[in-house]
Structure 1
C-alpha cells in the first residue's frame, strides 16, 4: 500500500472515530439520562417537570432510540478493526444513520427548524454519511487491488 493510500485510509478511520464519538455523547446521554438530560445537554430547560404517563412513555421510547444510536458508535469502532472484512457492518450502520437523518428531515419539514442544533446532525446523516460510504467503497477497491 502506498504512503498516500495509507494516509487516506487513516484519515477515513479518524472521521469514522469522530462519527462514533458523535454517536456516544448524545446516545449515552439520551439512553441513560432520558429526555431531561438531553435537553439540559443542549442548553435547554427540562421538558418534563412532573410525572405523567406521557412522560414515562415518551422517555422510554426516547431512551430506546438513543440506546440504538449509542450502539451505532460501538459498531463503527468494531468496523475499524478491519474495514474490508467488516464492510457490511459499516454499510448497515451508515444505513441506520441515514434513515435517522431522513426521519429528522421529515420532522423539519413538518415543524420547521425548531432548534438550530438539529441542522448539523441532519446534514451529517443525509450528506456526510453517503460520502463516507462512497469513500469506503473506493478504499476497499484500492485495498483489494493491492492484495493481488
Structure 2
C-alpha cells in the first residue's frame, strides 16, 4: 500500500472509531447520567460532575478529530490524547474489577481505550515514518 493510501485508510479508521464516543459524549453533556438508561437517583453534584467529565471527553474527541487532516504530522498531539485515553481506560478497568462488568457500551469503550487507541497510535507512527522518509528522499527538511 502506498504511503498516501495508508494515510487515507488511517484517517478513515480514526473517523469511524470516533463516531460512538462522540455520541456518548454529546449524550452525557446533554442528558447527564440519565442517558445511561437507568433512572437512578441523580444528585445535583453527580449530574454536575458527570456533565463536566462528558464535556472534557467531548473536547478530547474534538482534539482527536482535529488530527485527521494531516494525521502524518500529528504524532505528539495523538500521543498525548492516547495517553489520556489509556489512563481513562485503566480507570474503567479498575471499575470493572472492583465493581463489576458494565453495560456493553462501556465494554466497547474499554476495548477502544485499551486496544484500538494504542493500535491507532502505532499505525500513526508507521504512517509518520513513511511520510518522513518520503520527505527525506525528496530533500525536504534535510538537516536540523
TM-score bracket, normalised by the shorter chain, equals 0.7 to 0.9
Asked if the contact 1:24–1:70 (Cα under 8 Å) also holds between the matched residues in 2, the reply is: yes
Contact 1:27 1:66 in 2 (8 A): yes
Q: Deviations over 1:106-141 (max 9, x none)?
A: 000001204233211101110111111111111100
What does residue 48 of structure 2 align with?
60
Q: Gaps (5+ residues) in structure 1? A: 49-53
Residue deviations 1:24-72 (CA, integer Å, cap 9, x gap): 1100110122111x22xxxx23223xxxxx6111111111111111112
What SS does the corresponding residue of 2:21 show, helix, strand or coil?
helix
Task: State the superposition RMSD in angstroms.
Answer: 1.6
| 1:144 Cα offset (Å) | 0.2
The answer as to whether partners of 1:23 and 1:72 remain within 8 angstroms in 2 is: no
Identify which of structures 1 and 2 has the higher relative contact order when contacts are C-alpha pairs closer than 8 Å and 6+ apart.
2
Give unpaired runs (5+ residues) of structure 2.
137-144
Match status 1:88 vs 2:76: yes
Q: Which residue is 1:51 aligned to? A: none
* More off after superposition, 24-33 vs 136-145: 24-33
In 1, the alpha carbon distance for the partners of 2:71 and 2:132 equals 11
Aligned-residue offset at 1:20: 2.5
Query: Counterpart of 1:24?
Result: 22
Which SS does the other structure have where 1:46 is aligned? coil
Aligned with 1:70 (options 58, 68, 77)? 58
TM-score, normalization by structure 1: 0.84
Determine if contact 1:94/1:133 at 8 Å carries over to the other structure.
yes
